[in-house]
Amino acid sequence: MTNWPDDDVILYDGVCVFCSRWVQFVIARDTEKRFRVTPIQSPYGTRLAQAFGIDPREPDTNAVVHGGKAHLKSDAALTVLSNLPGWGWTRALFAVPKSLRDAVYSVVARNRYRIFGKYDSCFVPDAELRRRVLDQ
């Protein structure tokens, strides 16, 4: 895992319907307002992606910076979920072998546009979410 100066930042594909809904799901449940988000298409998101070896033109994973470290694929999703109020039980899913978790994650990631759709441009958040977006 790679270090990054900002903490609790979720990197997501802003044109992916599934990814944008994931961010909305997280923000709605993050009552402590712990997580901030950045679309990979923003200048900040692009820098973050490149630092973690993610191609910003063809992203194959979301990521989260937590505890100063980057978590990718299933580790990213479980790290976020397990830090939401009432979702701590998802920590148990870390017991599933990472290779299996990431294989399932990769199947969904590869097919996300076909299954869930794609926006023509970056998802535009509402005012509440906008306050938690890092884009510069």
Q: What is the pLDDT of residues 58-105, one digit of tens each?
A: 888 889 999 888 999 999 999 999 999 999 999 999 999 999 999 999
Kindly provide the b/e burial profile for residues 21-37, where b requires at least 16 CB atoms within 10 angstroms of the residue's own CB: ebbbebbeebeeeebbb
Q: What is the pLDDT of residues 106-118, one digit of tens each?
A: 999 999 989 999 8
Neighbours of 58 (CB within 10 A): 7
Q: How far apart are CA 46 and CA 44, in angstroms?
A: 5
